[in-house]
Amino acid sequence: MTELLQQVRVIDPGLDTDKIADVLIADGKIQVVATQIDHISSDTQVKDCRGLVLGTGLVDLYSHSSEPGFEERETLLSLLQGAAAGGFTRVSILPDTSPAIDHPAIVAQLQQKAREMGNMPHLHVWGAMTLDLAGKQLTELAELAGTTGVVGFTDGKPWENLGFVRRVLEYLQPLGKPVAFWPCDRLLSANGVMREGAQALRLGLPPIPASAETTAIASLLELVAATGTPVHIMRVSTSRSVELIASAKAAGLPITASTTWMHLLLDTKAVKSYNTSLNLEPPLGNASDVEALRAGVREGVIDAIAIDHAPYTYEEKVQAFAESPGGAIGFELALPLLWQNLVETGKFTALELWQALSTQPAICLQQKPSAISPGQKAELMLFDPQKLWKVERKNLYTLSSNTPWIGQELKGRVLQIWV
């Protein structure tokens, strides 16, 4: 099939492109990008794309699959459908399924199932560092590393033993795969559910000090310096963390870092609603944390924005705030909300947002970013930043609806992806 997208806004951070152009796509490849394309074949589908955005496909660093083991929350099909509806062409799932993704056979099973679904985002898998995520015994790391589809290693949860972390870094160094850690000191965070500060006192919720994250990051950075193993730091949420990462990068440590999309939009003031979809891990930061995270993304200290899509059933989330599991859905909501709150307000340029959602996540995963240039495979998404729609269960592909935006009208929706 041949398609001509006329006068679309083309956004490609890798080429530093933000311009209006015509784009011709045929046989799964980009054929021409030009100010105006006049000569086309009679069977070409022509689409007037004035006001629309054509961007490189979005790439998610880490999200929760729920299948196998928790299909009532999300199936692999609904996950990929939701990701496609949000403009994602690559999705990387965490190993916290049941059974955990700690064996090549489980990876192969998930990959095969995804392939059978056809025109869906590319599925990549994080292999578990430890058997059943128990944090006690290493998986067969070399065997998993050789498995197609494994992008790297993580347990996706805080460590319990720094000696074990050092051992993991030493084992993984020769394998050349990304390794990701969520730095959080469980002794300092204890049973907390909200960032320490005046809001936590006012709302009567157990607090988590910023030091629960920053001390863990400082320890991890020391181990990276000692071993030289590249590391990705997940779920950065505090202003001090941004400072630590900036200093480590300036010193030449081989690290990348990501924050999640909701931590760029909301702060602790939002929790006054006691909406359990605002119970996140890590918790929402204070206003100063949000500003530091935004600056960190714009400046490249924070390399990427992750979705960390975490579906839960209605029954799991309908309980007291402090008793509810942490996490919220995000695939279908992230781009519209980030665009309207950051790009439309002038806080980010479109290129800065796309850099953090598309180009840099691919680089963090040691993958080649997609590009909008002739001869390249068409890995793209088409976004209407003005399209109004209501966030309702019937309007979402995901099986869960744990989001604070449920019932609200949003502006901006993805119309199509090319994979």
Angle between helices 239-250 and 211-227 (to 10 degrees): 10
Nearest to 305 by CA among 98, 62, 82, 66: 62
Rg (alpha carbons) of the chain, rounded to whole number: 21
Tokens of 417: 């992806």
DSSP structure class, residue 174: G
Angle between helices 287-299 and 239-250 (to 10 degrees): 30
Active-site residue flag, 267: no
Task: Find the catalytic residue in 12, 155, 308, 384.
Answer: 308
What is the CB neighbour count within 10 angstroms for residue 142?
Answer: 11
Q: How far is CA 91 from CA 9, 281, 309, 365, in A?
A: 24, 20, 10, 11
CB hemisphere CA count around 265 (13 angstroms): 22
* Cα–Cα distance for residue pair 175/230, rounded to 1 Å: 11
DSSP structure class, residue 322: G
Residue reference for tokens 């744990």 = 402
**Hey, which residues does 383 pair with through a beta bridge?**
53, 414
* Cα–Cα distance for residue pair 73/63, rounded to 1 Å: 13
- Chain-centroid distance, C-alpha 368: 17
Give start and end residues of each alpha helix (H) in 74-185. 76-85, 104-116, 141-145, 162-172
All residues at 6 or more sequence positions from 198 whose CB lies less than 8 Å from its CB, including other chains: none
Q: How far is CA 123 from CA 11, 150, 226, in A?
A: 23, 10, 33
Catalytic residue list: 308
